[in-house]
Amino acid sequence: MRKEIRLWSFPILSRAVGMAFLKLDPRKEIRNPVMFMVWVGSIFISAVFIAGVLQGVFDGFNLQIAIWLWFTVLFANFSESMAEIQGKARADALRAMRTKTIARRLLPNGKEESVPSAQLRLGDRVVCETGDVIPGDGEVVEGIASVDESAITGESAPVIRESGGDRSAVTGGTKVISDRIVVRITAEQGKTFVDRLIGLVENATRQKTPGEIALLILLSAFSIIFLAAVGTLWFFSDYSVKQSGTSAFITTAVLFALLVCLIPTTIGGLLSAIGISSVSKLIKKNVLALSGRAVDAAGDIDVMLLDKTGTVTLGNRMASAFYPAKGVQENALAEAALLASLADETPEGRSIVNLARRNYPIKAGSMTEIGGRFVPFSAKTRMSGIDFQDSKKSIRKGAAEAVKDWVRSAGGSFPVEVASKVSEISAEGGTPLAVARNNEVLGVVYLKDVVKGGIKDRLLHLRKMGIRSIMITGDNPLTAATIAAEAGVDDYIAEATPQAKLERIRAEQKSGHLVAMIGDGTNDAPALAQADVGVAMSSGTQVAREAGNMVDLDSNPTKLIDIVEVGKEQLMTRGALTTFSIANDVAKFFAILPAMFLGLYAVAGGIGPLWALNVMKLASPQSAVLSAVIFNALIIVALIPLALRGVRYRAIGAIRILRRNLLVYGVGGIIAPFVGIKAIDLLVHAIGLA
Amino acid sequence: MTTANWVQLVVSLGVVFAVAPFLAKFMTRVFEGERHILSFLAPVERGIYRITGVSAKQEMNWKQYLAALLVFNAFGFISLMALLMTQEWLPLNPAHIPNMSWHLALNTAVSFMTNTNWQSYNGEVSASYLSQMAGLAVHNFLSAATGMAAALALIRGIRNKASEGENSTGYRAPLGNFWVDITRTTLYVFIPLSIILTIFLLSQGVVQNFSSYVHGITLEGKDQILPMGPAASQIAIKQLGSNGGGFFGVNSAHPFENPTPFSNFLEWIAILLVPVAIPFVFGRMVKDKSQGRALFAAKTAVFAIGMVVVLVAELGLNTMTGGHGSMEGKEVRFGIPASAMWAEATTVVSNGSVNAMHDSFSPLGGMIPLINIMLGEIIYGGVGAGMYGMLVFVFITVFFAGLMVGRTPEYIGKKIESREVQLSVLAIIGQTVMILFLAAIAVVTKAGLAGLNNQGPHGLSEILYAYSSTIGNNGSAFAGLTVNMVFYNVTLAFAMLVGRFVVIVPVLAIAGSLGAKTPIPPSVGTFATNNTTFVVLLIITIIILAGLNFFPALTLGPILEHFLMLKGMVF
């Protein structure tokens, strides 16, 4: 899935060319007023040429202008096709997943029946066992299973999906590789996650984003103004011709050529490709933007809410230190804790084993070697541990209160210094775990939230981009503050309820901020829906995935940085190409206007005074007009790679970015066509086209 | 330029730039309703509200503000047109001037209502003293105040917090009160300034009387009529309020309007003073003076470029006079530099008074005033109009800048989004397209060509100038075009209406939409609008957006004329 598509290869290019022709449909062209003007011009001049031929006049100049105007339209269509093909390749792969599977539907009486997946209805319950392909989007209502989601995420490691909790959503087309689950279907056929993805990448449902619309309006306004400038030029020229009694090179072909050169065809032609490729770029980063609007908004995000667990910290608490009770060796405490945790497969348990093995000279074999029986954690005892059959020795580790009761019931006592250590650890935001052997309290294990490596740098990067981070956690304020300080987030909300998250987002929005929220749980859903950019973790619940407007398939919360960058790059690419497009007009004026008025006030067939404006020293009026039109068409093709790749965003501050882009695309945009048109003119003249 | 010329230029500019910030401080206090040195006039202000029944505390939203503005203008237009068409029968008409024709009255009424002050009429032969005083002079005050009011509404839209309105008055986005704004602008700003200027002008010999015209015999034995009238008082506001409609036909070239180099110096300052002060008012009102300074810098930079070109063109580019400056069409008592300076000032401000005939300038020297007007009268611009016109360009520039840095832009804390961009585009597109469209009609119709006194590219320049000047609400004429005929009176009146209201309506809508937005606190990604980069980008945007479209037309007008002049051909 993740394999790169080689864009500039023959099959893709030829397919894009074919699509470009199909897009000549006026119903499609009219959606972009700028290109529609070119389209109208192409038809008009073709008609003029054909009318000429019918009357026995073959006007090679008109033919060439017509051809190049058609090329201008086709090149713009081609750029859109190329962007779409990027997405299509992925859509085809997705569609392959949708192959008809046979679902095992559970009947109310508990029996199973086999039905094609297409016949599944909302609310149906289906059974999936090892090797089965999950027939549709849904929620696990029973059981736990590991699921291979590589078809969607490209991630080969299987993920755990279980009923209840925040990992209950499954996607149709993924494969169960162990155990058995019962899935309740939550999406109708044709509206599943995969269907939405296909629609999205195929551009079928892609709506123009507000930013794109605003720009298109501005570009259309430019086009109207230039239409007025070129249209009235015909009248002014008519006046000048009559007044001077000389002639001007003003034909419909020349006027349309001038118009097409002036209106911002470069950006107008590439605008749609930029939008599509932004969605594709996100897909490449394994983020699915479910609305183009969200991509637009992503560039503007200045506040980010992130869930603590799994985002700022590793998902689980880790043992970080042993604090022995008075008279107990640290080694002994470590050994006891190790023994109690040997068979404990919870992350906390494993972290105790690791800590003890790494830092203390303890030799302990496997459970069978030491002859112990594991006592698992239960909600009732709130402890886990080990019982040794031979020595009647028992070790327990657990919440301080539980261990205290256990020790007391065996006639022991809970030492004061251990109790104070327990409250000290709590105060620091850690979790104390008391360890006891029979009736003796050995000490405390300090379980700590471990801040993810590199998170600090990522947050710093965000801050440089102008984004403030707010950590959300269910922890008490003290714990939250400790972790916030360690991770370097700007602010935190402790003891957060779904309501509190929602309120905070509303408050930030009210004071003018654009907020991104990253979440996975069902209780995040309201906040995800309220946020301007709601990024749901793919591992999260179906509810969360529905509420957000982006889904991160890697379930990596710092992905937001990439999302913001793509949003910004999309805006910048639009801006750069608009600037370039408009800056180009200067040179085109100097190419076409002198060509038009070469003969004005010319004495006895000589050269008129306005030919002095031909600063590029173009060979002839015909060649000047043709060169400008050819340049205008070719520049679209030349800039397709830039449109698809995007202008790179760097967090170097707004003013420096602006200066840089103005220099490259503004000043560059003024100079480039002077060079380009001159070069084309030399060529056109050399091979005798005009 | 001689040393004296340099001194004149530097001193004149120095006075304007030195006084403007102080005037701005005073004006801000007036507009904000704070205490100022003229607060003793407050009873007059309250009296006006009591008589007219205006409740001064009532805030208006943009639709109410616009409605008040339109009603006020419509009333002014109708009453002025009626006055002009009946002046023959009314008092204060010692010269027995007849009623104006319907089209001349229409043109003149629109002209004064829109602060254009285009003169299809000729003051001394077609307007009675009553028409001048009760009609034209009154509108000189009120049209300037109207422009100021629209600008104030937009400034408040940028500044205000949406929540303020919701709490205090029940309106979203309160933009002030139109009636209060025009009353304060007139009472505290324009009347006092006019009184001061009038006194100075009287000292220089500008006429101020109700006498009949004086008949005399010249040394050559020919009859001459010397027109009289209450000129000084009207000329003061004509210059201060970016009006420009002369008491007499030849405007400020007339010795009774502008008798001496000193009166010329004063009037030149008066043309620029208020428009130059307004960016500073803006800075103060949005509580960030650097924003005002940035706009002032952008305006001044374009002003300076134009000034240099006009001076160079007039002093030395004229090959027909062997590279010496040409005195044709200029008054001997002012000379070339003062005439060129005036031309630059009166066209960057949409003033439109002239002390020399722009028509007689060298082709490039005449092109600069034309371009100044074509840019939309925002390089200082008319009172108020130059401010809101500039802000429209600022919004578009900010939108571009936002695209370039990858962020939806904001200006002084307000997001500039699709709606604002659309409305800004509308304000610009209407003017540009209409100038080209009307001029194109004029050059190919018999009626349009009938007014031409000059041929070739020069004739095209004249027509372009006429429509640019009316759409820009400038009002100066290139001269050489006979316009008192139905075709020109009606099309030019239409142009003036487009130039005024196709800008004011979108501007007030923008004010409403910005006012309803919550200000955004600045962050690292925020693009600052008070630095050189922004100023440069703003200037480039203005030149490209407003200037580039006229390049083809200018090519066939002044540029062609310039090249022909180099070959020894003149028109």
pLDDT in 10s for each residue of chain B, 571 residues: 788 888 989 999 999 999 999 999 999 999 999 999 999 999 999 999 999 998 888 889 899 999 999 999 999 999 999 999 999 999 888 888 899 999 999 999 999 999 998 888 888 888 888 998 888 989 999 999 999 999 999 999 999 876 544 444 444 568 899 999 999 999 999 999 999 999 999 999 888 888 888 888 888 888 888 888 888 888 899 999 998 887 887 888 888 889 998 999 999 999 999 999 999 999 999 999 999 999 999 999 999 999 999 998 888 766 666 667 778 888 888 888 889 999 999 999 988 888 998 888 888 899 999 999 999 889 999 999 999 999 999 999 999 888 888 887 889 988 888 889 989 999 998 899 999 999 999 998 988 888 888 888 999 999 999 999 999 999 888 877 888 889 999 999 999 999 999 999 999 999 999 988 888 777 766 788 999 999 999 999 998 888 888 999 999 999 999 999 888 887 7
pLDDT attached to residue B202: 92
pLDDT attached to residue B38: 93
d(CA B254, CA B259): 7
Residue ranges in B53-137 assigned as alpha helix (H): 62-86, 102-113, 123-126, 129-130
What is the enclosing helix (H) or strand (E) of B552?
Answer: helix B551-554
Interchain proximity B404–A649, CB inside 8 Å: no
User: What SS3 class is residue A266?
Assistant: helix
Q: Which residue of A has its CA nearest to B161?
A: A511
Average pLDDT of chain A to the nearest whole number: 84
Is the pLDDT at A28 greater than 70? The verdict is yes
Name the one residue in this structure whose structure tokens are 């923008």.
Answer: B510
Closest CB to B444: pick one of A235, A244, A510: A235
Q: Which of A206, A441, A138, A462 is nearest to A312 (CA)?
A: A462
* Residue scoring higher pLDDT (A397 or A363): A397
| Dihedral sign (CA A49, A51, A52, A53) | positive
Q: Which of A164, A122, A123 is nearest to A142 (CA)?
A: A164
Number of other residues whose CB lies within 10 A of the CB of residue A172: 25
d(CA A150, CA A658): 41
Interchain proximity B549–A512, CB inside 8 Å: no
Q: How many domains does chain B have?
A: 1
- For range A169-178, the mean pLDDT: 82
Q: Which residues of B touch A245 (CB under 8 A)?
A: none
pLDDT attached to residue B167: 41
Please check whether residue A347 is in contact with residue A431, taking contact to mean a CB–CB distance below 8 angstroms: no
Asked if the structure places residue B15 within a domain, the reply is no
Q: End-to-end distance of chain B based on CA atoms, in angstroms?
A: 27
Smallest CA–CA separation between B393 and chain A, in Å?
Answer: 12
Backbone angles phi and psi of A116, in degrees to 5: -65, 145
Closest CB to B533: pick one of A215, A296, A655: A655
Q: Is A387 a catalytic residue?
A: no
pLDDT attached to residue B171: 46
User: What SS3 class is residue B227?
Assistant: coil
Write out pLDDT tens, residues A471-528.
Answer: 888 777 877 888 888 888 899 988 888 888 889 999 888 877 889 988 877 778 888 8
Question: What pTM, to 2 d.p., does this model score?
Answer: 0.85
Is the pLDDT at A263 greater than 90? The verdict is yes
Asked if the structure places residue B500 within a domain, the reply is yes
Asked if the structure places residue B447 within a domain, the reply is yes
Please check whether residue A324 is in contact with residue A332, taking contact to mean a CB–CB distance below 8 angstroms: yes
Helix %, strand %, coil % of chain B (to 5)? 65, 5, 30
Write out pLDDT tens, residues A390-448.
Answer: 777 888 988 888 888 888 888 888 888 888 888 888 877 778 889 998 888 999 998 88
Amino acid at A548: G
Q: Which residues of A touch B531 (CB under 8 A)?
A: 655
* A58 contact partners, CB below 8 Å, separation of at least 6: A52
Smallest CA–CA separation between B313 and chain A, in Å?
Answer: 19
Q: Which of A487, A569, A567 is nearest to A535 (CA)?
A: A567
- Select from A464, A658, A661, A663 the residue whose CB has the most chain B CBs within 10 Å, as the one to mutate to test that interface: A658
Q: Which residues of B touch A232 (CB under 8 A)?
A: 436-437, 439-440, 553
Write out pLDDT tens, residues A296-334.
Answer: 788 888 898 888 776 777 766 788 889 998 888 888 888
Interchain proximity A217–B528, CB inside 8 Å: no
Please check whether residue A587 is in contact with residue A561, taking contact to mean a CB–CB distance below 8 angstroms: no
What are the strands, taking DSSP E only, across B297-417? Answer: 410-411, 414-415
Q: Which residue of A has its CA nearest to B434?
A: A228
Smallest CA–CA separation between A414 and chain B, in Å?
Answer: 54
- Select from B160, B398, B407, B529 the residue whose CB has the most chain A CBs within 10 Å, as the one to mutate to test that interface: B407
Asked if the structure places residue B196 within a domain, the reply is no
What DSSP string describes B399-458?
Answer: HHHHHHHTS--EETTEE--HHHHHHHHHHHHHHHHHHHHHHHHHHHSHHHHHTBSS-HHH
Asked if the structure places residue B35 within a domain, the reply is no
Q: Which residue of A has its CA nearest to B463?
A: A236
Amino acid at A670: I
Spatial strand order of the sheet with A491-493 comes to A287-289, A550-552, A533-537, A515-519, A303-307, A468-472, A491-493
pLDDT attached to residue A435: 92
- For range A145-165, the mean pLDDT: 72
Q: Which of A296, A307, A475, A585 is catalytic?
A: A307
- What are the contacts of A367-371 at 24+ separation with CB within 8 A? A367/A342, A367/A343, A370/A339, A370/A342
Backbone angles phi and psi of A516, in degrees to 5: -110, 140
Asked if the structure places residue B204 within a domain, the reply is no
Specify the range with the lowest mean pLDDT, choosing from A205-214, A507-516, A615-624: A205-214
Q: Which residue of A has its CA nearest to B443?
A: A239
Smallest CA–CA separation between A500 and chain B, in Å?
Answer: 22
Write out pLDDT tens, residues A115-148.
Answer: 887 788 888 888 888 888 888 888 888 888 888 8
Residue B116: which domain range?
A: 59-177+279-571
Asked if the structure places residue B395 within a domain, the reply is yes
Bridge partners (DSSP) of residue A536 are: A519, A551
What is the enclosing helix (H) or strand (E) of A330?
Answer: helix A330-341
Cα B15-B364-A618 angle, rounded to 5 deg: 135
Backbone angles phi and psi of A440, in degrees to 5: -110, 125
Closest CB to B429: pick one of A211, A224, A230: A224
d(CA A561, CA A569): 12
Asked if the structure places residue B218 within a domain, the reply is no
Interface of B with A in 404-463 (CB under 8 A): 404-408, 413, 415, 417-418, 421-422, 425-426, 428-429, 432-433, 436-437, 439-441, 443-444, 455-457, 459-460
Q: What b-and-e string marks burial along B265-293, b requiring 16 or more CB atoms within 10 Å of the CB? A: bbbbbbbbbbbbbbbbbbbbbbebbebbb
Q: Which residue of A has its CA nearest to B534?
A: A655
d(CA B290, CA B279): 10
Q: Which of A494, A491, A496 is nearest to A515 (CA)?
A: A491
pLDDT attached to residue B168: 43
The dihedral region occupied by B413, where left means phi > 0, alpha psi between -120 and 50, and beta the remainder, is: left
Closest CB to B425: pick one of A218, A232, A464: A218
B527 touches chain A (CB under 8 A): yes
* Residue scoring higher pLDDT (B298 or A99): B298
* Residue scoring higher pLDDT (A272 or A366): A272
Name the one residue in this structure whose structure tokens are 């701005």.
Answer: B24
